[in-house]
Amino acid sequence: MVFEFQERTIEQITADIEIVFVIDKNLDHKWVKDKETLQKLGFEGKEGESLLIPETKRLYLGVKDLHHESIRIAASSAIKALKNRKYQTAKIGTYIENCPITNIKAVVEGAILGGYGFNRFKKEKPKEYLTKIIVGYEDYSDIDFSPQNAVKSMKEAQIVAEATNYVRDLVNLPPNVITPQTLAEHALKLAEENSLECTVLDEKELEKENMNAFLAVGRASANPPRLIHLKYRPQNPKAKVAFVGKGLTYDSGGLSLKPSDYMVTMKADKSGACAVLGIIKAASEMELPVEIDAVIGAAENMVGPDSYKPDDILKAKNGKTIEVRNTDAEGRLVLADTLCYVQEKIKPDYIVDLATLTGACVVALGEYTIGVMGHDRQLQDKILKAAEASGELAAKLPFNRYLPKLLESKVADICNISSSRYGGAITAALFLSEFIEKEYKNRWVHLDIAGPAYVEKEWGYNPYGASGAGVRLGIKWLQKEYVFNKKHP
**The predicted structure's pLDDT at residue 487:** 44
Cβ partners under 8 Å of residue 179, min gap 6: 223, 249, 300
Do 132 and 194 lie in one domain? The reply is no
What is the distance between the alpha carbons of residues 215 and 334, in angstroms, rounded to a whole number? 8
Express each pLDDT in 289-330 by its tens digit. 999 999 999 999 999 999 999 999 999 999 999 999 999 999
Number of domains in the chain: 2
360 and 229 inside one domain: yes
Instruction: Classify residue 423: in a domain, yes or no.
Output: yes
CATH number of the domain enclosing 446: 3.40.630.10
Indicate whether 156 and 184 sit together in one domain: no
Is 377 domain-assigned? yes
Domain identity same for 364 and 466: yes
Q: What is the mean pLDDT for each group of 10 consecutive residues in the chain (489 residues)?
A: 96 98 97 98 96 98 98 98 95 95 97 96 91 97 96 98 98 98 98 98 98 98 98 97 98 97 96 98 98 98 98 98 98 98 98 98 97 98 98 98 98 98 97 98 98 94 96 98 66
Average pLDDT over the chain, rounded to an integer: 97
**In this structure, are 251 and 325 located in the same domain?**
yes
Q: Report whether 335 contacts 250 (CB < 8 A).
A: no
Residues 301 and 361 in one domain: yes
Active site residues: 258, 332
Do 365 and 298 reside in the same domain of the chain? yes
Q: Name the residue range of residue 40's domain.
A: 2-162
- 147 plus 200 within the same structural domain: no
Rounded Cα distance, 227 and 244, in Å: 11
Please give the sequence-ordered ranges of beta strands (E in DSSP) within 95-237, or none if there are none: 132-139, 197-201, 226-232
Domain co-membership, 25 together with 119 = yes
